[in-house]
Amino acid sequence: MNNEAIIAQIKEIGSSPVPAGKEEFFRELEKKALPRRQGVVMSHGEFLAGQLLYIEKWIWLASGLLLLLLVWLCRRSPGSNPFALTPLLAAGILLETERSRRYRMDELEYAARFSLRSIVFARMFLVGFVDTVGLLIVIAVVGSYFPYALPRVFLYMMVPYLTAAFLGSVYERKMRTESGFGSLIICVLSSVVFAAAPLLFRQLYEEGMTILWAVALIALTCGLAASMRQHMHEMEEPVWN
């Protein structure tokens, strides 16, 4: 007996009978499973609310304590020194930028229901939005303690914050490190620079310099938006070819 005959005999012995009603079974299964295939529609608000719970709690705690410290310092010493603390607020949004890489969750989030880009952008938006609202509340509370108009207080607080956020965003995008120490160092250095700036450049907080602060605010906002857009573009998920 040759090999082909042996193989044919083995196939005949080992073959299973054709199941009855196989096609009808799969058709019925497909009908029952069809409604479950339709994804649950989720609004942008529900998506953001879900991501709000995943942001590390210490970020909210540290931001809240820093905002309270700003209020206390502005009441106690309403000079230029409190403005130098706002760059530290940017640490939260910068650390959330590379959280997936830091905890090696990239691959899991690539395969999740929402894209990694959507998740990171949502968390950055939430932290940045809360920080900005917190600063606006602080400005409204302590504005009366300063000899400046409220728009100038707004500029003096937001420009240092945006400086740290912009520089940190560029750093995170270029370096792609797993630790967040680089962003923390950038925030601390930005704070130190703005604390020392009035000593080296006495006219910095004079009314005549307000236009330069406004230009800096616009430039930093545009730069941060462009950097975040580039960062999101580089987070495009791998596509099966």
* pLDDT values of the chain reduced to their tens digit, one per residue, 241 residues: 566 777 777 777 766 666 667 777 777 766 666 555 555 566 777 777 777 777 778 888 888 899 899 888 888 877 777 888 888 888 887 877 766 666 666 556 655 666 777 777 788 888 888 888 898 898 888 888 888 888 888 999 899 999 999 998 888 888 776 666 788 899 999 999 988 888 888 788 888 889 999 999 999 999 988 988 887 777 665 444 3
Total domains present in the chain:
1
Domain assignment present for residue 65? The answer is yes
Look at the pTM and tell me if it is higher than 0.85.
no
Contact 51, 119 (CB under 8 A): yes
Residue 62, judged by CB atoms within 10 A of its CB (0-12, 13-18, 19+), counts as: middle
How many angstroms separate the Cα of 204 from the Cα of each of 10, 13, 63, 221?
91, 93, 27, 20
* Amino acid of residue 163: T
Long-range contacts of 191-194 (CB under 8 A, 24+ apart): 191/84, 191/85, 191/86, 191/87, 191/88, 191/160, 191/164, 192/84, 194/83, 194/84, 194/87, 194/160, 194/163
Q: Would residue 158 count as lying in a domain?
A: yes
- Its sign, for the CA torsion 128, 132, 134, 138, is positive
Is 5 inside a domain boundary?
Answer: no
Range(s) of the domain holding residue 124: 44-234
Would residue 90 count as lying in a domain? yes
Q: Which residue has the tokens 């596509």?
A: 239
Burial of 107 per CB tally in 10 Å (0-12, 13-18, 19+): exposed
d(CA 227, CA 4): 67
Contact present, 96 and 120 (Cβ < 8 Å): yes
Q: Would you say residue 18 lies in a domain?
A: no
Distance CA 128, CA 88 (A): 12
29 in any annotated domain = no
Q: Residue 56: how many CB atoms within 10 A of its CB?
A: 14
CB-based burial label for 177 (10 Å; 0-12, 13-18, 19+): middle
Q: Note whether residue 3 is domain-resident.
A: no
Look at residue 102 and tell me if it is in a domain: yes
